[in-house]
Amino acid sequence: MKAVRIHQFGGPETLQVEDLPMPQPGQGEVRIRVMAASVNPVDYKVRNGGYLPREALPLTLGRDVAGVIDAEGPGVEGLLVGEAVYAMLDRDHGGYVEYVTQPAACCAPKPAKLDFVQAAAVPLAGLTAWQGLFDHGGLESGQRVLIHGAAGGVGHFAVQFARVRGATVIATCSGRDADFVESLGASEVIDYHEERFEDRVQDVDLVFDLIGGETQERSWAVLKTGGIMVSTLKEPDQKKAEARYARGVHYMAHPDGQELAEIARLIDAGQMVPRIDRVYPLDAAAEAEAALENDHVRGKIVLEVAAPL
């Protein structure tokens, strides 16, 4: 089966299309015939040597798939061969492949409303948004949340989840994405190139930081006393948090089939939708990663795989 792999860290040119043996599902695992896989910043960050040691090489990139279960190991409950699923993969597996094995607990039935390309866009970014806002941020109806990076992969899900939860959403993004982010449910959109968000916003219950750096630092000024700052990128300064009787949390998103099933219910109820910016064939994974790393992307980039039977 075809897989896109790296044998050394570096630029997009390090991605190679290779032939690998068909993986076999173990205890509690399913094998997914991959129809589509999505691209996330973590993929180019790993490829650039940012996260893993050299000993991890060679490795297959990609953390999201949508496809059809074509085999099961012993002990799998609740998912059937032939069922369409989507999953955020665990760290031991890559998604730029034609077939992948995965613990059944990481998978959920694919939202019926979405095709495979749309479904593959959801898992990692959707779970990151869900876990950041709800599991770590405890966002509740009636609260005010500031979402930085609202037009990107994670941000465009976060705006929709927060709106569905009944929170008031204030969002930062580029001006050209303002209408898009507003259409997702943000009540106020701030163009980060043109305005300082701290001149417009005050007293938010939750800052959801998808940017880090000085954006995170400047966000203390808009957090209300007792609020919470949740970041996907950097541990917030605990001294600054304490000074505001606030909390600061950095977290890593993890696979969770149950949360993915809840997200699927929201999608099928018409309450949220992924936005696909561009679709590439699996063989063009290098081009897709370069686009996410260097271009302006609204929503998600997806690889169409459609593995042969």
Pair 207, 233: CB distance under 8 Å = no
Buried residues in 156-179 as b, exposed as e (16+ CB within 10 A)? bbbbbbbbebebbbbbbbbeebbe
Provide the token pair at 202: 């005050």
Give least dist CB 173 to ligand NAP, A. 5
Residues of this chain that bind ligand NAP (CB under 6 A): 40-42, 45, 125, 128, 148-149, 151-155, 172-174, 192, 210-211, 215, 232-233, 252-253, 296-297
Provide the token pair at 258: 């149950």
Give least dist CB 180 to ligand NAP, A. 10
Residue 221: name the closest of 209, 204, 238, 239 by CA: 204
Give least dist CB 284 to ligand NAP, A. 18
Residue nearest to ligand NAP (CB): 152
Of 14 and 232, nearer to ligand NAP (C-beta) is 232
Give least dist CB 128 to ligand NAP, A. 4
Of 168 and 232, nearer to ligand NAP (C-beta) is 232
Of 79 and 276, nearer to ligand NAP (C-beta) is 276
Provide the CA 43 distance to its chain's centre, in angstroms.
11
Of 23 and 132, nearer to ligand NAP (C-beta) is 132
Of 72 and 177, nearer to ligand NAP (C-beta) is 177
Quickly count helices (H) and strands (E) in the chain. Answer: 10, 16
Give least dist CB 225 to ligand NAP, A. 24
Residue 71: name the closest of 110, 18, 2, 22 by CA: 22
Of 109 and 155, nearer to ligand NAP (C-beta) is 155
Give least dist CB 27 to ligand NAP, A. 27
> Where would I find the beta strands (DSSP E) of 7-148?
16-19, 29-39, 59-60, 64-72, 84-88, 99-103, 107-109, 144-148
Of 25 and 123, nearer to ligand NAP (C-beta) is 123
DSSP bridge partners of 108: 86
Give least dist CB 130 to ligand NAP, A. 11
Nearest 5°: the CA angle 188, 191, 193 is 160
Assign 49 to helix, strand or coil. coil
Measured from the Cβ of residue 137, the count of other Cβ atoms closer than 10 Å reads 25
